[in-house]
Amino acid sequence: MQGTIVWNMRVTLDRQVAAPGETLYAQFSLANALAEPMFIEAITWNTNFYPVDQAVRQEVKKIIPPHGQEYLAAGTIRIPDVPSDQYRIDVVARTLIYHGGDWVDLQIVPLTEGKTFLVAHTPRFRAFVSRSLRAEDLPVADAMLPVIQSWGFDTHTVGINEFESDPAKLSERVLAEVVKADCLFAVATPRDISQLDHLVRAFAWLNSEASFAFALKKPLLLLVDQSVKLECLLASPHLAPIRYDPANLPVFLGLLNVMMPFVLQAVAHHVQTQTIVQRAQAERVVAYGAFIAGTIQRKLPE
């Protein structure tokens, strides 16, 4: 097995940028690169700002079928007070393969290249990402997130890194997350094909979440599969969708990276404007309170 790729580990982070004191959420999944079954007993992972003796070991005990893929485990990473820089998550897996009628212990197999992320002390913006949670749509949104996050956005999606335990309150939780966000990125992957016109629509939640953001006057960027027909509010001429070809994502990601400074500027202007408006409203409330208090005091008998 010398030099043979045994498995491909995928490390997914809820965001690519974090500040000291914050927590990253990491998920680990693995694709069996062999035409033979594989058994993963456990994985051990660590970041390069923590000593080796603080590595996290998680029992897995899963059989991965030939060329199959499985979710393994998840965990959180508390960011210590380290300098702003790029850091790395390293993963190893205790691996056995079924070969020649018996299980062969490969011992510890390491991840070829660690998963990198950025620690930054600078202020960042909160972005709500409206995206599909279907497995077939994950590669598209997961490819876009690192670009968005690398420009200083913390990304939040209900069902990805924000969870609602009560299904009856799901709509309220989505609205609450959109309200908290400084902006919204909507990734319109194809979902329904109309029996009438045979055109492809986006998933239903995208329309609701984008409509919430529009009503709240949040900056909104639509990232739309070239096969998707936008309808209702999303088809408004006031919204300019950015189209992508899922078969040629690298070109689109390069374009998105070029656009992000302008998006960042627009969001920063929006946040600054909202801060000024809120401050003015607070000053009017204080002034009105002082006026009412003065009026009452003048009416009191001596």
Domain residues of the chain, as ranges? 7-119, 125-263
The β-bridge partners of 23 are 78
Cα-Cα-Cα-Cα dihedral sign, residues 196, 200, 205, 206: negative
Please write the tens of the pLDDT for every residue from 153-206. 889 998 888 888 888 888 889 889 999 999 999 998 887 655 444 456 566 778
The domain over range 125-263 is classified in CATH as 3.40.50.450: yes
Residue type, position 209, single letter? E
Spatial separation of the C-alpha atoms in residues 141 and 15, rounded to whole Å: 12
| pLDDT for residue 302 | 56
Please check the confidence at residue 26 and state whether its pLDDT lies above 90: yes
Please check the confidence at residue 282 and state whether its pLDDT lies above 60: no
Please check the confidence at residue 278 and state whether its pLDDT lies above 50: yes
CA distances from 186 to 23, 86, 256 (A): 24, 28, 13
Average pLDDT, the chain: 84
Spatial separation of the C-alpha atoms in residues 107 and 96, rounded to whole Å: 7
DSSP state of 162: B
Burial of 19 (0-12, 13-18, 19+ CB in 10 A): middle
The β-bridge partners of 40 are 62, 95
| CATH code, 7-119 | 2.60.40.10
Please write the tens of the pLDDT for every residue from 199-251. 565 667 788 888 888 888 899 999 999 888 877 777 677 777 889 999 999 99
Please write the tens of the pLDDT for every residue from 13-22. 887 788 889 8
